[in-house]
């Protein structure tokens, strides 16, 4: 079987032009995908290296169980919990995330996604000053100035440059890269910097200063210092000039900028720079989002609750206060007594103090691939790989929603995240309803 | 379930029923002929008002920019929350948001006011899946989405080349692909110009590169709309929204409808007309020109308006008019988001605080009411706030009370900026809407505008969407306006598809409503020509493949198709 228009669910670029050849339910050929994307397809179809049976751990023993038993146990953990954390939700479909919100609302827990440890500062800045942006096709058709700041797409988003930004021919950029200028701003000369028309090396942690200098000059200030953030006055003036005089500019930024000192204040400043630039010309800004559906995760949570991440339902309605209601913080402070971790591996990636608490509480791990977090879970449920073994919706980094496709069957008995989360939701609902009826009955006796 | 609503005062303008005491019979989700009381649930509506379920033709409740508004405004959601609850063995979700409520509570809040249908008015085709994901998450009410076309490259290209049949075939293809309901036009040409940070300011301006004028786009799509025999008219947010002195553009825009006819409805809807009825030379001399605009509407029988009332609340503005949102944020210096969408449109979002103390806001408040009071024919008026642009939809009961009570308007004006006395004529208008007229502008005219025969009335065969309000028309005193506002805020009963969903203002049941979309079939050869262009453009200029663009029916709750078959697309000159 030969499939076209397949969507790659590796990164937030969500390339939708992949061609895949399948024989006997195995992927044997992949066209157009980048190397990392292709390896994800092959890894999924190599089921020898996947665990495909749900597991329950009790008294240090690991027991393979049926899906129903695993779901029963999982819902018991959640229904019994006082304030559980439901975390992950970035490498899964919107359909699964939606049931995740229902479930968290039902059990009065906290729902958070991986934005909390990556572009969280960008979201906070978004809420402070806004976000002038566009879709990637706009960049392709119009942009003549492309800036990557603290982002190395050649490694993290390998086809970003060729599909959307620098290389492609666009409607108003018929000659492709010849009609555009590429500038990279980073603390080191990355591979992307090497192919750029211009590389500007900013001193580690000084991004905020550089943004401020650019805004200062843009708004008519006269720079007296020879260097700001390690960048010469001439370079700053030249950059401002280019930004002002392009006809459509775009600033892509990555973790290099969000995690620079100042965090959301740096992003706030960068967005303000782009807003200022719109007085002179057309300019947009965009986060380079990593997980393929972290954008969708923010979207689903926002339409269901009003807030994009770190949503706390423990008072019976959605509340949002990152720093207080975000995953790492509630773990470090030991405020949650159970967890459900889906499509994520916090045991490998969270700070030690947070992991310590997670390992103390009963939690469920749902993941297509058995990871460090699954290794210590009370319940582990393997699921199908979205975009390969099951379909669903994902949002590209620019917010374009794309239906990801199913091209092979998942291993026998393995269901999608959506189905598993829905089953847990329904089971937990049953349990909670019973308890509510019990309470009501008690009241009658009193 | 069988229900009989007994002895209510029925207001059903489509069937010319004006406050008659009648019984309404409901069976299997429909209004039916009289049946025997045995096995039916009989509800005494004596001393109460019975109306068809209300309809909102233009309310930004779902989609990319609505959600951007949510993400942008955590401070807004803290003003208004609804907690989760268990009732009748059902789990009702929690939610938050004053001006941009989350999706679940959007359905609850509409139902609570006796509304059973709302259309989201600005679906960007590339983002259609998002709009439908959100619509499908709104319970109870029926839904639909108007589809943005006024800055679409195919539309501009075909119209410029004089290929209006191809434009029509493309519009048909697009509506079906994105499961849209009607042709929506927002700042025609201005959205494309905004791709270069520019805008259009006159109907004769030329759009960069495409070399077409807003006038040509509006006229072209109005004709396309009729060539395809679409249920709704062209739905137009014309240029210069919110600008001082824009009323002349608005009147000129209306005149573009001259010569076009449709037996069942108007051919052009000037949406949120309030934002387009401003006079003055600068913000200092900003004044109401509602009188002039209403006069033009009174003359142009083939044009209708929805008002877009300003309710004087802090809110979040969101439109597909990107340059307008930028302009507004540059006046207020508040946060601003923009999202240019390739080949299609350019929405933006920025908060706005309408304050009764502000001269401009108070005049805007007057403009909306003046329009509604000065347009003589209520069948060409629709009650909207352009939610949340003029104010959140939860204020509709207050607007109803303002329209019904001169005293309410006078009392409300007491705390307002004096400009409302000098630069508007609201205080001189003594018209008061009666319940029949209210039923028209909140139900009948909206159903007629949408071309939905089973909606907006209580005749046999209509969908059993009904609202009962605790108002006794015999004892109605418009000076007691709080009572009116309270009654319309908390429906005594809302029935959706024959099921009781609200009792005495409380949501007691939920399920999903229908999602309407249009499916027009045109002749094959014509469609093939368009498909060749689609192939060419998608390969080169879109960032998604053509095969991944259309939205499947899986995304719609109870998809409901309005079909048209056009044997041969006939050009309207
Ligand atoms: Zn609108």
- A296-310: pLDDT as tens digits: 999 999 999 999 999
Between CA B476 and CA B487, with CA B482 as vertex, the angle to 5 degrees is 70
- Which residues of chain B from 12 to 71 reach within 8 Å of chain A, CB to CB? 62, 64, 66-68, 70-71
Please answer yes or no on whether A317 and B95 come within 8 Å at the CB atom: yes
Rg of chain B in Å (alpha carbons): 23
Question: What's the Cα-to-Cα distance from A416 to each of A300, A307, A406, A436, rounded to whole Å?
Answer: 18, 26, 11, 30
Instruction: At B242, list the tokens.
Output: 């919110």
CB contact under 8 A, A308 and B71: yes
Residues A367-405 have pLDDT tens digits of 999 999 999 999 999 999 999 999 999 999 999 999 999
Find the closest chain A residue to B544 by CA distance.
A16
Instruction: Provide the chain B residues 399-418 that lie in CB contact (below 8 A) with chain A.
Output: none
Select the residue from B340, B343, B551 to test the A interface by mutation, using most A Cβ atoms within 10 A.
B340
A297 close to B (CB below 8 A): no
The SS3 assignment for A161 reads helix
Could B73 and A130 be called an inter-chain contact, meaning their C-beta atoms sit closer than 8 Å? no
Per-residue pLDDT tens over the stretch B72-119: 999 999 999 999 999 888 999 999 999 999 999 999 999 999 999 999
Q: What is the pLDDT of residues B110-166, one digit of tens each?
A: 999 999 999 999 999 999 999 999 999 999 999 999 999 999 999 999 999 999 999
The pLDDT tens digits for B456-483 are 999 999 999 999 999 999 999 999 999 9
Q: What is the mean pLDDT of residues A12-35?
A: 95
Interatomic CA distance for residues B377 and B308, integer angstroms:
17
**What Rg, from alpha-carbon coordinates, does chain A have?**
24
Q: How far is the CA of B315 from the centre of ligand 1 (A)?
A: 13
Best to test chain A binding among B81, B83, B94, B99 (most A CBs inside 10 Å): B94
Using CA atoms, how far residue B121 sits from A379, B135, B143, in Å, is 45, 12, 11
Q: Which domains does chain A have, with CATH numbers?
A: 52-118+292-386+411-445 (3.40.50.740), 120-287 (3.40.228.10)
Domains, chain B, ordered by start: 54-65+112-311+356-450 (3.20.20)
- Do residues B526 and B84 make contact, with C-beta atoms less than 8 angstroms apart? no
pLDDT tens for residues B211-233? 999 999 999 999 999 999 999 99
CA distance A50 to A408: 15
pLDDT score of B198 more than 90: yes
Cβ separation of A130 and B350 shorter than 8 Å? yes
Residue A263 binned pLDDT confidence (cut-offs 50, 70, 90): confident
Task: Quote the CA–CA distance of B445 and B382 in Å, as a whole number.
Answer: 6
**Structure confidence by residue, pLDDT tens digits, B371-423:** 999 999 999 999 999 999 999 999 999 999 999 999 999 999 999 999 999 99
Q: A17 touching B, CB under 8 A?
A: yes
Predicted confidence (pLDDT) per residue in B317-376, tens digit: 999 999 999 999 999 999 999 999 999 999 999 999 999 999 999 999 999 999 999 999
Mean pLDDT (chain B, rounded): 97
Nearest residue to B572 via CA among B281, B73, B114, B226: B226
In this predicted structure, which of A118-122, B412-416, B419-423, B562-566 has the lowest mean pLDDT?
A: A118-122
Render B79-101 in DSSP notation, one character per residue: T-EE--EEETTEEEP-EE-SSS-
Let me know: does B119 contact B59? Beta carbons within 8 Å. Answer: yes
> Do the strands A248-253 and B85-87 form a parallel or antiparallel pair, or are they unpaired?
unpaired
What's the pLDDT band for A445 if we cut at 50, 70, 90? very low
Q: Locate tokens 């393995």: which residue?
A: A414
Place of tokens 């979002």: B349
User: What tokens does B536 get?
Assistant: 């060419």
| Contacting A residues, span 355-394, partner chain B, CB-CB under 8 Å | 393
Report how far apart, in Å, the C-alpha atoms of A13 and of each of A120, B39, B573 are: 19, 59, 45
Contact present, A153 and A252 (Cβ < 8 Å): yes
3-state secondary structure of B501: strand
Give the model confidence (pLDDT) of A324-338 as tens digits: 999 999 999 999 999
Task: Read off the pLDDT of each residue in A80-105 and give the average, rounded to a whole number.
Answer: 97
pLDDT score of B1: 83
Whether B573 has a pLDDT exceeding 60, the answer reads: yes
Residue A446: band (very low, low, confident or very high) from pLDDT cuts 50, 70, 90:
very low
Nearest CA-CA partner of B249 in B202, B318, B297: B202
3 state DSSP class of B477 = coil
- A307 contacts in chain B (CB < 8 Å): 70-71, 74, 77, 96
Q: Which residues of B touch A248 (CB under 8 A)?
A: 195-196
How many angstroms separate the alpha carbon of residue B7 from the centre of ligand 1? 38
């Amino acid at each position: 079987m030969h499939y076209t228009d397949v969507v790659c669910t590796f990164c937030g670029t969500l390339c939708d032009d992949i061609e895949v050849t399948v024989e006997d339910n195995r992927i044997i050929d992949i066209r157009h995908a980048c190397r990392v994307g292709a390896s994800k397809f092959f890894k999924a179809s190599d089921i020898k290296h996947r665990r495909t049976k749900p597991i329950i751990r009790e008294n240090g023993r690991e027991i393979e169980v049926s899906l129903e038993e695993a779901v029963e146990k999982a819902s018991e953990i959640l229904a019994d919990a006082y304030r559980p954390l439901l975390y992950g939700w970035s490498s899964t479909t919107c359909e699964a995330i939606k049931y995740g919100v229902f479930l968290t609302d039902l059990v009065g827990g906290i729902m958070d996604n991986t934005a909390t440890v990556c572009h969280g500062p960008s979201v906070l800045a978004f809420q402070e000053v806004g976000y002038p942006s566009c879709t990637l096709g706009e960049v392709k058709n119009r942009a003549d100035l492309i800036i990557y700041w603290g982002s190395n797409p050649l490694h993290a988003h390998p086809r970003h440059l060729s599909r959307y930004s620098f290389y492609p021919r666009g409607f108003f950029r018929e000659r492709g890269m010849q009609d555009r200028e590429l500038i990279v701003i980073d603390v080191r000369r990355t591979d992307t910097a090497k192919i750029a028309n211009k590389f500007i090396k900013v001193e580690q942690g000084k991004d905020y200063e550089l943004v401020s200098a650019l805004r200062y000059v843009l708004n008519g200030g006269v720079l007296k210092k020879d260097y700001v953030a390690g960048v010469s006055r001439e370079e700053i003036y030249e950059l401002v000039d280019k930004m002002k005089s392009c006809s459509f500019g775009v600033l892509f930024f990555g973790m290099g900028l969000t995690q620079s000192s100042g965090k959301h204040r740096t992003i706030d400043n960068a967005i303000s720079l782009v807003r200022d630039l719109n007085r002179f010309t057309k300019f947009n800004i965009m986060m380079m989002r990593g997980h393929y559906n972290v954008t969708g995760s923010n979207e689903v949570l926002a339409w269901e609750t009003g807030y994009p991440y770190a949503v706390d339902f423990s008072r019976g309605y959605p509340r949002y206060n990152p720093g207080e209601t975000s995953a790492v913080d509630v773990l470090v402070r030991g405020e949650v007594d159970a967890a459900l971790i889906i499509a994520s591996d916090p045991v490998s990636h969270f700070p030690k103090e947070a992991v310590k608490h997670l390992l103390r509480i009963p939690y469920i791990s749902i993941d297509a691939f058995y990871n460090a977090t699954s290794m210590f879970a009370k319940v582990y449920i393997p699921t199908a790989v979205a975009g390969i073994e099951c379909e669903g919706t994902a949002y590209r980094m620019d917010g374009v929603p794309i239906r990801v496709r199913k091209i092979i069957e998942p291993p026998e008995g393995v269901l999608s995240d959506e189905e598993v989360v829905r089953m847990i939701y329904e089971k937990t609902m049953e349990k909670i309803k019973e308890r509510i009826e019990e309470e009501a009955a008690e009241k009658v006796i009193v | 379930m069988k229900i009989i609503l007994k002895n209510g005062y029925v207001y059903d303008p489509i069937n010319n029923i004006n406050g008659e005491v009648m019984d309404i019979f409901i069976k299997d989700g429909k209004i039916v002929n009289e049946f025997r009381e045995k096995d039916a649930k009989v509800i005494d509506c004596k001393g109460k008002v019975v109306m068809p379920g209300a309809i909102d033709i233009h309310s930004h409740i779902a989609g990319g920019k609505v959600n951007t508004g949510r993400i942008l405004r955590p401070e807004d959601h803290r003003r208004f929350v609804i907690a989760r609850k268990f009732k009748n063995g059902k789990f009702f979700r929690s939610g938050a948001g004053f001006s941009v409520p989350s999706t679940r509570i959007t359905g609850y809040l509409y139902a609570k006011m006796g509304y059973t249908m709302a259309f989201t008015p600005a679906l960007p085709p590339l983002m259609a899946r998002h709009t439908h994901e959100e619509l499908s998450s709104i319970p109870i009410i029926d839904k639909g989405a108007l589809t943005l076309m006024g800055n679409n490259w195919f539309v501009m290209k075909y119209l410029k080349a004089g290929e209006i049949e191809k434009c029509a075939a493309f519009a048909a293809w697009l509506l079906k692909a994105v499961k849209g309901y009607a042709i929506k036009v927002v700042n025609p040409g201005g959205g494309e110009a905004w791709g270069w940070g520019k805008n259009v300011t006159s109907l004769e301006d030329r759009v960069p590169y495409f070399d077409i004028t807003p006038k040509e786009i509006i006229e072209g799509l109005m004709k396309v709309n009729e060539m395809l025999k679409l249920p709704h008219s062209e739905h137009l947010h014309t240029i210069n929204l919110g600008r001082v002195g824009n009323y002349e553009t608005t009147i000129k825009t209306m005149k573009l409808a001259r010569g076009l006819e449709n037996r069942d409805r108007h051919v052009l809807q000037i949406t949120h007309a309030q934002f387009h009825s401003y006079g003055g030379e600068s913000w200092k001399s900003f004044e109401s020109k509602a009188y002039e605009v209403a006069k033009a509407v009174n003359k142009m029988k083939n044009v209708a308006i929805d008002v877009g009332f300003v309710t004087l609340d802090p809110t979040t503005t969101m439109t597909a008019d990107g340059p307008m949102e930028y302009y507004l944020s540059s006046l207020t210096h508040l946060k601003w988001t923009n999202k240019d969408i390739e080949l299609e449109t350019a929405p933006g979002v920025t908060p706005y605080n309408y304050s009764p103390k502000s001269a401009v806001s108070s005049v805007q408040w007057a403009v909306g009411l003046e329009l509604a009071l000065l347009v003589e024919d209520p069948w060409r008026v629709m009650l909207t706030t352009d939610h949340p642009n003029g104010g959140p939809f939860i204020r509709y009961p207050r607007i109803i009370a303002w329209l019904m009570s001169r005293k309410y308007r006078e009392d409300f004006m007491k705390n307002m900026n004096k400009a409302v006395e000098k630069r508007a004529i609201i205080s001189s208008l003594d018209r008061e809407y009666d319940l029949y007229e209210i039923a028209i502008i909140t139900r009948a005219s909206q159903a007629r505008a949408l071309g939905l025969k089973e909606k907006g009335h209580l005749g046999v065969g209509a969908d059993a969407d009904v609202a009962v309000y605790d108002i006794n028309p015999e004892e109605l005193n418009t000076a007691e306006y709080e009572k009116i506002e309270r009654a319309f805020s908390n429906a005594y009963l809302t029935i959706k598809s024959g099921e009781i969903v609200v009792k005495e203002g409380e949501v007691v049941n939920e399920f999903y409503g229908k999602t309407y979309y249009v499916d027009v079939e045109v002749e094959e050869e014509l469609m093939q020509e368009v498909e060749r262009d689609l192939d060419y453009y998608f390969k080169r200029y879109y960032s998604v493949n053509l095969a991944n663009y259309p939205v499947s029916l899986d995304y719609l709750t109870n998809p409901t198709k309005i079909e048209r078959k056009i044997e041969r697309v006939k050009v309207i000159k």
